[in-house]
Amino acid sequence: MPDSFAVEVKNLSFAYGKDPALKNVSLKIRSGERFGIIGPSGAGKSTLLLHLNGILSGDGEVKIDGLPVTKKSLPEIRRKVGLVFQNPDDQLFNPTVEEDVAFGPLNLGLSRKEAGTRVRETLKQMNLEGFEAKASHHLSYGEQKRVALATVLAMQPEVVAFDEPFSNLDPAMVKHLIEIIESLDATVILVSQQILPVMASCHRLAILKDGQVIRVGTPAELAADRGLLKECGLDVGFFCSICKKLDL
């Protein structure tokens, strides 16, 4: 049986003004796969992510579950692809947690009652029961991260794409987030500079550098290519040596 692809990107190029951000990027991500996109700052990772949801549109082709991302298909694409932004504060713009979580489902055309059910289910899934009436700007960073994820999961997307999910999190929260990510019943895309948590939670990874896909492989394959990781500024040998030194 042939693989079914949740995400297909073909020859995608995009530029901010005259500065190219993506150059002929091609990728295929299988349904149900956890796929990591790693690379140094300015590699074009977040730009690529924004194309999956149709927020940016460059030259080339992007398909979600076989459906091309076009202006016409945007409502369906935004139902299928959920984006979790790097800074949760940017994602939470409603006065209370429950209104923020209900925002997506209501925009999908669900009734208040259905949206309310989704809100309750999602908050329960994220261990956020009792947070309904809280103002999101009064939550801790870790709680905000979970609420931001809840706002996306409430839309029941088929693809959940995270932009730098592990930034500014303490190790315990990173572990907790990896557990949440692994429990998701969806295709997951992780975009990050922190390659250890991405390697720990993804089936496959792509290295992006200067707007181009340098290599795609399993975490073990990429970890074995220390030269490439070093060249892309992603080598974790330094951290490993610290761990060794501290007997961790």
Partner 1 sequence: MKHDYLDKYSSLDSVLHNLDPRTKIVCFFSAVIVIVSEPREETTAFLFYYLILIALLLASHIPVPFFLKRCLIASPFILMAALMLPVSFLLGGKSASGNLNIGVFVFSLSILLKAYAAIILLVLLTSTDRFHRLLKGMRRMHLPNILTMMSALMYRYIFIINDERLKTNRARDSRSPGRFQSGRIKVYGNQTAKIFLRSWKRAQTVYQSMLSRGFKGDFPEFFRLQFKLSDGVFAVIMIVCFGVVRVFI
> Site residues (CB under 8 A) for partner 1?
50, 53, 55, 75, 78-79, 81-83, 85, 87, 89-91, 93-95, 98-99, 102-104, 106-108, 112, 115-116, 137-138, 151-152, 155
Nearer CB in complex with partner 1: 55/196: 55
Smallest gap, in angstroms, from Cβ of residue 110 to partner 1?
A: 9
Smallest gap, in angstroms, from Cβ of residue 223 to partner 1?
A: 32
Cα–Cα distance measured from residue 233 to residue 24, given in angstroms and rounded to the nearest whole number = 22
- The DSSP result for 112-177, as a single string, is HHHHHHHHHHHHHHTT-TT-TTS-GGGS-HHHHHHHHHHHHHTT--SEEEEESTTTT--HHHHHHH
Nearer CB in complex with partner 1: 91/187: 91
Smallest gap, in angstroms, from Cβ of residue 188 to partner 1?
A: 16
Nearer CB in complex with partner 1: 45/204: 45
Smallest gap, in angstroms, from Cβ of residue 168 to partner 1?
A: 14
